[in-house]
Each structure stands twice: as structure tokens, then as C-alpha cells.
Amino acid sequence: MNNLYRNLLLFAVMLALVAVVGISQSWNVALAILNLCLISAIMTLGVNIQWGYAGLFNAGVMGFAALGGLAAVLISMPPVPAAWQAGGNGVVTGLAFGIGTVLAGIISWRKTAHLGGKRYWLTALIAVAGYTLMRWVIDPAIVAVEAVEPAKTGFLGGFGLPIMLSWLVGGAFAAGVAWLVGKVSLGLRSDYLAIATLGISEIIIYFLKNEDWLTRGVKNVNGLPRPVPYEIDLQHTVWLQNWVETYGISLIDASSIIVKLCYAGLFVAVLVVILWLSETALKSPWGRMMRAIRDNETAASAMGKNVTWRHLQVFVLGSAVVGMAGAMLTTLDGQFTPTAYQPLRFTFLIWVMVIVGGSGNNFGSVLGGFVIWFFWIEAEPIGLALMELITSGMAQDSPLRHHLLDNAAHMRLMTMGLVLLLVLRFAPRGLIPEVKR
Amino acid sequence: MTDVLNTLALVSNFIIVPGLAYGSQLALGALGITIVYAVLRFSNFAHGEMMSFGAMITILVTWVLQARGINLGPLPTALLALPLGIVATIGLCLATDRLVYRYYRQKRASPVTYLIVSVGVMFLMGGLIRFVIGPNDQIFADGARFIMKAREFKQMTGLNEGLAIKSSQGVTVLTAVVIVAVLFWFLNRTRTGKSMRAYSDNEDLALLSGINPEQVVFIAWIIAGTLAAVAGTLYGLDKSYKPFTFLQLLLPIFASAIVGGVGNPLGAIAGGFVIAFSELIVTFAYKKVLGYLLPTGLAPEGLAQLLSTDYKFSVSFMILVIVLLVKPTGLFSGKTL
């Protein structure tokens, strides 16, 4: 019981910190921080499923989050009919050829074990031929699609469905890629997964930056539809105008606070569902088995548990949650910016959240997501103020002073690295330690 | 006949010469990873930042030297500054080991704990580097730009295609050869080198024979730091120095180490060249080659490029995947030093 009070206190302090920002800066800022805290918490839960339950190191959180963002674009943006007309068929046929090649390669590899060394050549031949065919079909189509009003569209658009659907689809995208990566690298040495995920996440980002026909690349996709009302529409409603008059706050502030609250409501709902599912899973026989595998793989496999398969399962699950959070983040931003995906922000920061929160404890992950995101945002003013203080003794035009002030932003990187190392060393169990069951 | 020679010059210019240089850089990086793996038994994610740190110190010293008018004539001044870069990187490695890794070694932590610790170190170092030198491109190459210019080659041979060899490429290959030779001599001929190999092969047996593990680890960090500083400086000389690229370089370097067989120095070198040449072969535009070799009229209209240059990093990933699927132990079945 003592622990329960302690944990409740930690959460209360956290919410109080957000409230302090609300009172001292503005409620708009506080709610913006809160929304990102919620998304971070969901992402952290995903990573905690992989690391806390199973001890798998995923160094590619960024890639899975970006796949979620891609899903948001593909699901919600309206299709571009002109682009479909120009090259839709070519792109679809080309992709079909690509998928066909992969399937043909797999089948030929599986069925030709008796050929010995020739097997490699046959599979390679199929791969090269299929790839050439795909490029031959798809390249002119892509050029045609990208030529359609490149300043405004230049891509195929999406399906024009409600954007909240993309939260599920984003999870599915991430799960699919995670399955492929896991299939290749799990069951081998433990660090292969880390290296493979590091690689795939970079490649996903390169893909999203360069395939303009799909994502407009570095031109970004702006104006994604929203699941919540627009500020401008709210400002025209009579009830809000009356309400604002009664309480004497500005109309613009009130509308944007309401929009942020709507988002917060949606995110809290998702967070609660995922948290409940994770907790239930952790308490179930499945969770016991996962912990047994994590703590002693040899013993667990001696008890007849298929360690590799379970690792794959848990890796896919965790990645799906990360993908979902990625889609939610893009929904909140209202735009898809491939260049915004930085490993520091999306892979590393999430890891710090998991470790600081307490690996293996879902509530710890949520708290970690909140705490680290809050300080990540507030560290900028704090860090700058600190640098001002340190350099205040120097001459105004001292080059060292300028250098320090200019590079103060990189202090965050160092601080987070330091926080991770310190927590790992001195409090490896985190803020809310894993419960011994 | 001229067509064949032209093709040869073209391929040398765009694949063989850059491939040798890039391959040497990757090989040196992969060697560092492999040495740390063989002795400390973890994949060091901070190795890219160690390279970056070595290059950074070298650049800073180079600037000081350049400002005082000291140079090496046709050779880049950075070579003169490199020893200081090496010493600083070794110092950084030893300090990190003392402050961070030693604790986990004594606790006999699992490899994945080491891994996540090394990620923390990576970001700490990355922040330090950006704090000191900033996130932007730094150019520090000086001396003669080319050993052979494309125009000179054309005049010499009368071919259409030029062959240019940058001096940074020459310096890279030569330095790499020297470093690797010294390393192999050390590992195979000296007492300390042999004790390191023994420790890597079988820790318990090595301990029983009276090998001091702390000394082996000490030497391993010295070697890793040296390799990292050299590799980082050579890469910076050849391309350009930008802190961000070293995170991206981590993937090809790890791929090189794994392709060759982690823990196997010979494999790391082979892996480096496999990755470098595959990257260049796959992203090379074959339009001109086909133009020379095919009968007139059959030459393709497009670039005839297998993969756009933007995706060159994905090549190492694909090779990594193929190796993991087909032969997870690597080409030179790894795990001995």
C-alpha cells in the first residue's frame, strides 16, 4: 500500500508541475505539453513492452513512429485524381511486380533446397529480374505522378478516410515492418536486433524523404484533416461566444484550449485502453511466461517455451503501439514532416523515458513519458538561463561566450545522455520499480 | 578496344578508387568495433562518436597548426595533428571505461545492458562534440587536392574518360595499410597481443594462465581509440566532417563487422570492402558503361542506376539482412581475435 501512495504522489507532483506551467505561463502551453506527454507515454508503453517484458533492445523507435505518420497521411488525405490518372496504374502495377518478386524469391528459395549452390544464383536472378521489371514499370509512372502540380500535390494522396482510423493502420504498418525485422534478427545474438532496427529506422526515414509520389518527401504534407473541431469554427459558435463573455477570457484562447482538451480526451482514452491491456497481459499467464523468458531464456526454453517466437510476438506488439503513437503524433501536428524525425528525439528520448520511469512497469513508463517530456521542453529555457549565468562574468563580445550560448541547445543531448547513464548506474529500477509478482 | 579501356577508366574512377578509400575507412571502423567486441563482448554503439571525437580533436589541432603556418606541404596538415587526436580519443576511451563500463564489467552485466549503456555514452559524446564544434560541416583538408587529375589522365592516355585520384584517397589507403599491418603484427607477434587473443578465445583459460584482464581491456581500448581516431579523421578528410554523419556511419560499420564475422579482425577488413564496393556498385549509373560496351543505338536512355544514391545506406542494411539470413556467423566465422 505504501508503494501505491508513493506512486500516486509521483503522478500528483507531475500533474502539479503541468498546472504550474498553466498558471505561470499559460494554459495553452500547459495543454500542449500535456498532449505530447500523453503521446510520449503511449510510445514509452510500446518500448516498455519490448524492453521491460522481454529485454529486447529496439534502436529504431523513430522508424516505427514515422510509419505511423505515413499511415496518417495515407488514410486521411483526399486522393489526388489527376495524379492517379497520370500514373496510378503504373505505380500499382509496379508495386504488384515488387511484391510478386519477393514472393517468387521466397518460394524459389524454399522449394529448391536440393539444388545446392545453384539455389543462391537462382534466387538472385529472380530478385534482379523482378526488380528491373518493377523499376521499368514504376519509374515513368512516378515521374508522371510527381509532375502533377508539384507545388501543391505531386503525390497520389490518400484514401480520404477519417484520420483516427490511421491510428490502427499505423500500428499495423509498424507491426508489419517489425515482423520482417524480427524474423531476420531475432533468435541470433541479442545485439543484432539493435543493429537491424537502427538500420531499418534510418532507411524508413530516407524512404519517406525521397519517395515524393507517396509522401511528398521533404515538401511535407500539410493540412491533414482533424478528428476534432477547428478553432475558427468554434469561434463562430454562439455558445462559445456567450461562454467567453460570461467568464471574460479571450475567444481565441478559449477555442484553442477546447481543441487541445478534445485531443487530450482522445489520447487519454487510447492511453487508458493500452495501459489496461498491457497490465492485463502482464498479469496473465502470458506475462508470467514473458518474464520467465526474459529472466532465464535457457530455463524457459527447457520448459517448452518457444523463445524466438515469443520474442517476435512481443517485438511486433510493442512496435505496433509505437506506430500507433506515431500516427497520433502526426494527427496532433496536423502535418507530416519527414525531416522532423531525428533519432535523438524519437529513439533515444523514448529510451530515457522507459529507463527513468522504471523498466518493466507500465505505470512507470507513463510517468517516465510525462517527466522526461516535461523537462525536455522546459530544459530549453532552463539550459539557456544556466548558460547566461555561467557566461555572465565574461565580456559581452567574448567569442567563447557566444559559442557557449549558441551551442546551449546541445546541452539537452548531453544532459539526457547523462541522465540515462546515471539512472542505469545508481537507480536501475527507475522511478516506479517493477513489481515483484 | 578503346571502348573497353574507356569503360575501365570510368569504372576505376567511380567505383574502384573511391571504393578502396571508403572501404579502408569502413574497415578501420569495423576493426575498432570488432576489437571491443572480442575483448569486452559488447557491440559498442558509441564507436561512431569516438571516431567523430578523434576527428574533431584533429580538426581543432589542424586549425591551430594552420594558423601558425605549419604544414606538411602536399600532404594534409591533419596528418600532423592526428597523433594528438589519437591520444585524446584514447584518453576519452579510458576515461569512459573507468567511469562507466568498468562497473558493469565487475557486475558481469548482460550484453544488452552494455549495449544500452553504450547508447547513453554515444549521446553524451555526441552532445559534447556538438557543444564544442557545433553541428555544421567543417572543412579542414589542405595540401595538394589531387594525386592525379582527370585532365592529366586524359592527356596521358588519350582516352575520353578521366581518372582522378584525390590525395585524401591515397592518404587513406596508405594510412590504413600501415595501421592494419601494425595491428596484425601486434596481435600475432607480441606477447601482449597473444594474451589478448587468448583472452578473447577463452576467458577462463586465459585468467587461469595468469593473464591480467584489466590489462587486456586497457590495451583493447587503446587499440579501439587509435582505430577510431584514424578512421574518423580519414573519413572527414575524404568526404567532410559533420557530427551527424557519424551516426549514419554506424550502420555500414556494424554491417562490415557482422559481414566479416564479429570478433574477427580479418573479417572486419573484408567486410569493410564488401560493404563499400556494394554501395558503389549498386548506386553507380551504368548509362555510360553501357554506352561504351553495347553497340550504338542500344544504349539506354535513363541513368541505368540500380538504386538511387539517396539509398546508399540501405545497401549495407540489405547486405546485413542477407548475411543474417544465410550465414549469421559472417564470412569468416567470427568470435576469435
The residue whose grid cell reads 572527414 is B236
Mutate to test the interface with A, among B131, B245, B256 (most CBs of A within 10 A): B131
Residue B242, min C-alpha distance to chain A (Å): 15
- With bands split at pLDDT 50, 70 and 90, how would you rate the model's confidence at B333? low
- With bands split at pLDDT 50, 70 and 90, how would you rate the model's confidence at B57? very high
CB contacts of B290 in chain A (<8 Å) are none
In a domain, B155, yes or no: no
In a domain, B281, yes or no: yes
In a domain, B157, yes or no: no
Assess whether pLDDT exceeds 70 at residue B297: no
CB contacts of A411 in chain B (<8 Å) are 127, 131
Q: How far apart are CA A194 and CA A315, in angstroms?
A: 12
Q: Give the pLDDT confidence score for residue B336 in this predicted structure.
A: 44
Report the chain A residue with the minimal C-alpha distance to residue B132.
A407
Q: Shortest CA distance to A53 belongs to which of A288, A325, A370?
A: A288
- pLDDT tens readout for residues B81-106: 999 999 999 999 999 999 999 999 99
Q: Give the pLDDT confidence score for residue A87 in this predicted structure.
A: 82
How many angstroms separate the Cα of A8 from the Cα of each of A1, A251, A363, B248?
11, 35, 10, 42
Q: How far apart are CA A254 and CA A250, in angstroms?
A: 6
pLDDT in tens, chain A (437 residues): 577 888 889 899 989 988 888 888 888 889 999 999 999 999 999 999 999 888 899 988 999 999 999 999 999 988 888 888 888 888 889 999 999 999 998 888 888 878 777 888 888 889 889 988 888 888 888 888 888 887 777 788 888 889 889 999 999 999 999 999 998 888 777 788 888 898 889 889 988 988 888 888 888 888 888 888 888 888 888 888 888 788 777 888 888 888 999 999 999 999 999 999 999 998 899 999 998 998 888 899 898 889 999 999 999 999 999 999 999 999 999 899 998 898 888 888 899 999 999 888 899 999 999 999 998 887 777 777 777 777 777 766 677 777 777 777 777 788 888 889 999 999 888 888 888 76
In a domain, B147, yes or no: no
In a domain, B302, yes or no: yes
- Its ipTM equals 0.85
Least confident among A281-285, B20-24, B308-312: B308-312
Q: Give the pLDDT confidence score for residue A4 in this predicted structure.
A: 83
CB contacts of B313 in chain A (<8 Å) are 199, 202-203, 206
The residue whose grid cell reads 595501421 is B179
B121 — contact with chain A (CB < 8 Å)? yes
User: Which triple of cell numbers denotes residue B246?
Assistant: 557519424
Q: How far apart are CA B32 and CA B221, in angstroms?
A: 9
Q: How far apart are CA B62 and CA B5, in angstroms?
A: 40
Q: Give the pLDDT confidence score for residue A384 in this predicted structure.
A: 73
- With bands split at pLDDT 50, 70 and 90, how would you rate the model's confidence at B201? confident
CATH architecture of A32-79+157-426: Orthogonal Bundle (1.10)
Q: Which of A12-16, A41-45, B117-121, B313-317 has the highest mean pLDDT?
A: A41-45
Q: Choose between B232 and A82: higher pLDDT.
A: B232
| Closest in B112, B250, B258 to A55, CB measured | B112
Within B42-166, residue ranges assigned H as helices are: 47-67, 78-96, 102-107, 111-133, 150-157
How many angstroms separate the Cα of A29 from the Cα of each of A26, A244, B38, B207?
5, 19, 50, 59
Q: Choose between B1 and A205: higher pLDDT.
A: A205
Q: How far apart are CA B75 and CA B77, in angstroms?
A: 6
- Residue ranges making up the domain that contains B36: 23-137+168-326
Within B190-311, residue ranges assigned H as helices are: 191-201, 203-208, 213-238, 245-260, 265-283, 287-293
- With bands split at pLDDT 50, 70 and 90, how would you rate the model's confidence at B335? low
8 Å CB contact between A322 and A46: yes
CB contact under 8 A, A194 and B115: yes
User: Which triple of cell numbers denotes residue A3?
Assistant: 508503494
| Closest in A207, A351, A411 to B131, CB measured | A411
For the stretch A308-313, contacts whose Cβ atoms lie closer than 8 Å and that sit 24 or more positions apart, written own/partner, are A308/A186, A308/A187, A310/A54, A311/A54, A311/A56, A311/A182, A311/A186, A311/A187, A312/A179, A312/A182, A312/A183, A312/A186
| Closest in B119, B121, B324 to A192, CB measured | B324
- The count of domains in chain B is 1
Q: Can you spell out the DSSP letters for A23-43? A: HHT-HHHHHHHHHHHHHHHHH
3-state secondary structure of B148: strand
Q: Shortest CA distance to B284 belongs to which of B25, B21, B11?
A: B11
CB contacts of B321 in chain A (<8 Å) are 184, 196
Assess whether pLDDT exceeds 80 at residue B298: no
- With bands split at pLDDT 50, 70 and 90, how would you rate the model's confidence at B156? confident
CB contact under 8 A, B126 and A417: yes
Residue A352, min C-alpha distance to chain B (Å): 9
Q: Residue A81: enclosing H or E segment and its boundaries?
A: helix A81-83
CB contact under 8 A, B317 and A407: no
Q: Which residues pair with B146 in a beta bridge?
A: B166
